[in-house]
């Protein structure tokens, strides 16, 4: 795939205009996991191109912006790609790596210099700050080296010569016109001293070279869009062939930021943002994509549940919201629960697989029983919002030593005056009754009548004795699946514990350490 990078050059401009192609790109930097904001950006880029495909031509490019050697790591690139695939966001071309295209940026930078559109600068950050302070100027580059005629040399950066007059207008499909006076734009650096291009240069050159028609990205990029436009014009107007210079700027679309509860931009340092983390927690990709799509956009008609195909059909970039959106894990979980309940049982088991064994499961591999699981799965499927809820809910089916929740025991058994009575009568009945859900149910109903309590009250001590918790899948189905032996044993154990004043502490974690 690297081989393609260098020779990226698609069809002729004229053909493209004729064909009305719409081309977007998602350009992550591999300095961390794919985060939810990036995922949404990728999704929107994907949606518009896939829709364009239906009426003509659309192409979605994946471009890895790995020009900063210090920060990039191959594993991040891999992770980002895997996460995109997991979400079902597929690209038509790429991935292209900027690190494979450095010559291109170098050439363009040289041409900018030769045409006196950029200059070399040897100021250090400290010097710039000091001068600004002395002249009580705001931070930013003071154009100190603009007329010094410096040549390239070690320690020098190349700066773009921003016109001091006029204004630059960003035409944004979702925000309208954003006008910035050129004089407030500093002469920004475009090449580092080590000959590597800076983001704004490489990004602009690639968007030109790859003939991107729509630049769809986060709002944090809006402030440097005027720089992109200035660069674009410099590269086109004075440097390129006549054909290329006719090319219009791409259409820009700056998406509202995804924010945390404090309404700050989601950051990987302080917020949970990695798509992978949500996957590991048991979120389904289709739920994630669906939820993400709704952050900043809605199809109208009070509709919320959409699959990718429907999104492609309905998505409209011009109707994207302008205000930042809070990423609400609760609502995501709700979506996920709905998607899980819609799964057929085979897919449910397939997706649940990681939570059925070590390290996510609380039981050992040897304790797992597929026959039991296949009976249990339908009961569990209706009751979890994420897969990570499976181990605590289903543990009692597989574990020999069922962890006892102290609160449950204290409330429903130890602190309950009729619990011993219930357990003893249950034991007697369940030792010899027919082993059938209906019969198991009937037996406890009868005991409830005898004691003069509601079944709802009576089931609590029995449930805790058998499952270790007050909540869980339906009790009689569970008992039926578990079998007489285990049920009777657990009731017996509970009776003994009541009599000996058993007091559970924290759930027993020692088993896990042995694995």
Partner RNA sequence: GGCCCCAUCGUCUAGUGGCCUAGGACACUACCCUCUCAAGGUAGAGACACGGGUUCGAAUCCCGUUGGGGCUGCCA
Known catalytic residues? 268
Give dist(CA 189, CA 141) in Å, integer: 9
Residue that has been written with the tokens 């069809």 in this structure:
11
- State the pairing for strand pair 157-160/189-191: antiparallel
Helix residue spans in 343-436 (DSSP H): 345-352, 370-381, 390-398, 406-408, 419-432
Between 331 and 511, whose beta carbon lies closer to RNA? 331
Q: Within positions 167 to 226, which residues make up the interface with RNA, using CB under 7 A?
A: 175-176, 178-181, 184, 186, 188-189, 192-194, 196, 198-200, 203, 219-224
CB of 358 to RNA, least distance (A): 25
Determine, following the binding rule CB under 7 A, whether residue 463 of this chain makes contact with RNA: yes
Q: Is the peptide bond before 280 cis (omega within 30 degrees of 0)?
A: no
Between 21 and 30, whose beta carbon lies closer to RNA? 30
Q: Which of 149, 166, 300, 415 binds RNA (CB under 7 A)?
A: 300
Nearest to 287 by CA among 345, 327, 337, 352: 337
CB of 382 to RNA, least distance (A): 5
Candidates 254-262, 271-279, 415-423, 500-508; binding stretch for RNA (CB under 7 A): 254-262
Q: Which residues pair with 254 in a beta bridge?
A: 217
- State the pairing for strand pair 176-181/258-259: unpaired
Nearest to 288 by CA among 91, 85, 95, 94: 85
Question: Which DSSP symbol is given to 172?
Answer: E
CB of 88 to RNA, least distance (A): 20
Give dist(CA 50, CA 92) in Å, integer: 10
CB of 388 to RNA, least distance (A): 14
Determine, following the binding rule CB under 7 A, whether residue 471 of this chain makes contact with RNA: yes
CB of 106 to RNA, least distance (A): 14
Q: Within positions 476 to 495, which residues make up the interface with RNA, using CB under 7 A?
A: 476-477
Cβ of 387: how many Cβ atoms within 10 Å?
24
Between 28 and 79, whose beta carbon lies closer to RNA? 28
Between 185 and 361, whose beta carbon lies closer to RNA? 185
Determine, following the binding rule CB under 7 A, whether residue 297 of this chain makes contact with RNA: yes
CB of 448 to RNA, least distance (A): 9
Q: Which of 88, 298, 354, 406 binds RNA (CB under 7 A)?
A: 298
Q: Which of 245, 321, 374, 400 binds RNA (CB under 7 A)?
A: 321
Q: Which of 100, 251, 338, 489 binds RNA (CB under 7 A)?
A: 338
Determine, following the binding rule CB under 7 A, whether residue 473 of this chain makes contact with RNA: yes
Core vs surface per residue 99-130: b (16+ CB within 10 A) or e: bbbeebbeebbebbbeeebbbbbebeeeebee
Contacts with RNA, 93-132, as mask; x by CB under 7 A: -----------------------------x-xx-------
Give dist(CA 19, CA 15) in Å, integer: 6
With CB under 7 A as the rule, give the number of residues binding RNA: 89
Instruction: Provide the token pair at 487.
Output: 């049920």
- State the pairing for strand pair 167-172/176-181: antiparallel
Spatial CB neighbours of 329, under 8 Å, sequence gap ≥ 6: 272
Max CA pair span of the chain: 101
Candidates 23-31, 397-405, 423-431, 502-510; binding stretch for RNA (CB under 7 A): 23-31
Q: Within positions 437 to 456, which residues make up the interface with RNA, using CB under 7 A?
A: 441, 455-456
Determine, following the binding rule CB under 7 A, whether residue 341 of this chain makes contact with RNA: yes
Judge residue 39's burial from the number of C-beta atoms within 10 Å of its C-beta, 0-12 exposed, 13-18 middle, 19 or more buried: buried
Q: Within positions 352 to 411, which residues make up the interface with RNA, using CB under 7 A?
A: 382-383, 385
Q: Within positions 259 to 278, which residues make up the interface with RNA, using CB under 7 A?
A: 259, 262-265
Determine, following the binding rule CB under 7 A, whether residue 138 of this chain makes contact with RNA: yes
CB of 446 to RNA, least distance (A): 13
Determine, following the binding rule CB under 7 A, whether residue 29 of this chain makes contact with RNA: yes
CB of 11 to RNA, least distance (A): 27
Q: Which of 56, 139, 237, 378 binds RNA (CB under 7 A)?
A: 139
Give dist(CA 390, CA 436) in Å, integer: 25
In three-state secondary structure terms, 415 is coil
Between 264 and 374, whose beta carbon lies closer to RNA? 264
């Amino acid at each position: 795939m690297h081989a393609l990078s260098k020779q990226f050059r698609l069809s002729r401009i004229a053909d493209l205009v004729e064909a009305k192609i719409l081309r977007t790109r998602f350009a992550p930097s591999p300095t961390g996991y794919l985060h939810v904001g990036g995922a949404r950006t990728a999704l929107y880029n994907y949606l518009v191109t896939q829709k364009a495909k239906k009426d003509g031509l659309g192409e979605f490019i994946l471009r890895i912006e790995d020009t900063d050697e210090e920060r990039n790591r191959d594993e991040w690139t891999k992770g980002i790609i895997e996460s995109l695939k997991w979400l079902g966001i597929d690209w038509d071309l790429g991935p292209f790596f900027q690190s494979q295209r450095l010559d291109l940026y170098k050439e363009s930078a040289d041409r900018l210099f030769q045409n006196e559109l950029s200059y070399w600068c040897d100021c250090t950050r400290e010097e710039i700050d000091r001068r600004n302070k002395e002249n009580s100027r705001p931070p930013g580059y003071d154009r100190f080296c603009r007329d010094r005629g410096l040549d390239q040399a070690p320690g020098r950066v190349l700066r773009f010569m921003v016109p001091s007059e006029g204004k630059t207008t960003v035409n944004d499909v979702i925000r309208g016109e954003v006008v910035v006076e050129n004089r407030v734009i500093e002469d920004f650096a475009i090449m580092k001293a080590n000959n590597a291009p800076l983001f704004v240069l490489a990004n602009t050159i690639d968007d030109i070279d790859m003939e991107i028609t729509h630049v769809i990205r986060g709002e944090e990029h809006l402030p440097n869009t005027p720089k992109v436009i200035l660069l674009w014009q410099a590269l086109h107007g004075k440097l390129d062939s006549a054909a290329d210079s006719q090319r219009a700027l791409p259409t820009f679309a700056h998406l509202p930021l995804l924010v945390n509860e404090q309404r700050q931009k989601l950051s990987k340092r302080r917020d949970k943002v990695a798509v992978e983390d949500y996957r590991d927690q048991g979120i389904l990709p289709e739920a994630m994509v669906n939820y993400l799509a709704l952050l900043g956009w809605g199809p109208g008609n009070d509709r919320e549940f959409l699959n990718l195909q429907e999104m492609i059909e309905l998505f409209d970039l011009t109707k994207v919201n302008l205000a930042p959106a809070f990423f609400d894990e609760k609502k995501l979980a709700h979506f996920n629960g709905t998607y899980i309940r819609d799964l057929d049982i085979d897919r449910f088991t397939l997706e649940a697989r990681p939570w059925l064994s070590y390290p996510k499961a609380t039981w050992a591999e040897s304790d797992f029983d597929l026959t039991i699981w296949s009976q249990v799965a339908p009961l569990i499927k209706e009751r979890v919002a994420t897969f990570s809820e499976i181990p605590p809910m289903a543990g009692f089916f597989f574990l020999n030593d069922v962890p006892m929740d102290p609160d449950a025991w204290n409330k429903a058994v130890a602190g309950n005056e009729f619990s011993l009575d219930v357990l003893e009568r249950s034991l007697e009945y369940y030792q010899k009754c027919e082993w059938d859900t209906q019969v198991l149910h009937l037996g406890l109903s009868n005991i409830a009548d005898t004691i003069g309590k509601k079944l709802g009250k009576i089931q609590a001590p029995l449930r805790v004795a058998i499952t270790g918790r007050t909540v869980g899948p339906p009790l009689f189905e569970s008992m039926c699946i578990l079998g007489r032996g285990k049920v009777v044993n657990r009731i017996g154990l509970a009776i003994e514990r009541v009599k000996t004043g058993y007091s559970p502490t924290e759930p027993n974690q020692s088993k896990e350490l042995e694995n």
